[in-house]
Amino acid sequence: MIAGGTGEEGRPTMGDGVVAPEPQRPAARPVMVLGHGLTVSASQRAHVIDKMSNLRRHDDAVDRFEVHVFRERNPRQTKLRDRVEISGFGPGFTLSVQARGSRFHPAFAAALVKLEARLHRHRDRHLTREHSGGHQNPVVNTTA
């Protein structure tokens, strides 16, 4: 049995008292949050970055994301006042979605759901499909 405990920083130590290295987390992709016609607060930026960091599980091919938040100036459009556009850029492709809502958070949540679906479709189409070089004709059963 290997003797170990916890070091001064609370991390596990190896048997000889050497602090174990911190586990490596995947590098976060850069996320730019831009506001058009409004100011994006620090809490909104933190919310966007937190939610966008969960997208790593869908597709590693996307290099960076841009989130654009627009505010409608027309007072008659209060039901759909905020619009959120999310664009993901990778080598040779761009994924883009947009959603509208009465406030920032519902619009961002709707855009995030659309982006997850788009990333899932992109992964299924481009990364996991094996191309066999041609389509196979379906077999039709002609006996009745």
Specify the CATH number for the domain of residue 113: 3.30.160.100
Task: Report if residue 131 sits inside a domain.
Answer: no
- Where residue 86 falls among pLDDT bands split at 50, 70, 90? very high
Task: Report if residue 20 sits inside a domain.
Answer: no
Give pLDDT tens digits for 34-64: 888 888 889 999 999 988 888 776 667 788 8
- Where residue 25 falls among pLDDT bands split at 50, 70, 90? very low
pTM of the predicted protein model: 0.67
Task: Report if residue 81 sits inside a domain.
Answer: yes
Greater confidence (90 vs 135) lies with: 90
Task: Report if residue 52 sits inside a domain.
Answer: yes
Task: Report if residue 19 sits inside a domain.
Answer: no
Task: Report if residue 1 sits inside a domain.
Answer: no
Contacts (Cβ under 8 Å, ≥6 apart) of 70: 36, 37, 38, 82, 83, 84, 85
Contacts 24+ apart (CB under 8 A), 88-96: 88/62, 88/64, 88/115, 88/119, 89/62, 89/63, 89/64, 89/65, 90/59, 90/61, 90/62, 90/63, 91/61, 91/63, 93/61, 93/122, 93/126, 95/62, 95/119, 95/122
Domain that holds residue 99: 31-123
Task: Report if residue 56 sits inside a domain.
Answer: yes
The number of folded domains in the chain is 1
Task: Report if residue 128 sits inside a domain.
Answer: no
